[in-house]
Structure 1
Amino acid sequence: MTFAWYGHLKFKNVPIFKVIIISWFIAFFEYCLQVPANRIGSSHFTAAQLKIIQEVITLSVFSVFSILYLKENFKWNYAVAFLFILGAVFFTFKEF
C-alpha cells in the first residue's frame, strides 16, 4: 500500500489519472492479502489489536520507504512519534 499511495511522488510528471489506475492495481494485490489476514487474525486478536498491528507494520515500512526510495531525511521527532506508537501497542495488548 505504501508504494501504491506514495511511490508516484517521484513521478510528478505522470498524469494523475494514470497514477490512480496504476496505484489501484498495486493496492488490489495487497487488499487480496489483507482481507483474509484480518479474517484469520480475528480468531486470535481483537479488532483494535489487528488495527494497531497493521499501523505499526505500515509505519515501519513507510519509514524505510521514505528514507530509501523517496530520499527523505529521518528526523528526531519521527522517532519520538514512533515511541508513542509503541506505547499504543503496549496499552492495546496489555490486559488490565
Structure 2
Amino acid sequence: MFVTPAYAQAAGGAGAGIAQFLPIILIFGIVYLLMIRPQQKRVKEHKAMVEALRRGDMVVTQGGLIGKVSKVKEDDEIEVELAENVKVRVVKATVAQVLSKTEPAKD
C-alpha cells in the first residue's frame, strides 16, 4: 500500500549501476596512461641499455661510480675499471647510465 523510499530508489534499472562505475573506470584509465605505461617504457629502455653493454663503454652506476667496462660476464655481472688497476664487479641492473658507447669491432 505504502511505497517506502528504499523501494522507490531501487527501481532505477541496470543503466544506473554502470553509471556508478564509470568514474572508477575513467580514473583507472587515466592512471594507466599517465603512470603505468611510461614506467613500463622506462623499464624496457633500461633493459635494452643493460643488454647492449660491452667492453669499453663508460658507465655510471646507481651508486654514482663512473668507470669503463672492462669485462662483461654472462651471469648478469660486469667488471668496471674505476681507475688504473682498480676494478669492481657490478650487477648489470645497477648501471644507471651509459656515458659513451664504444664502436663495434670491425672484422
TM-score range, shorter chain: under 0.3
Q: Which is richer in helix?
A: 1
User: Over alpha carbons, which structure has the higher Rg?
Assistant: 2
Question: TM-score, structure 1 length as denominator?
Answer: 0.26
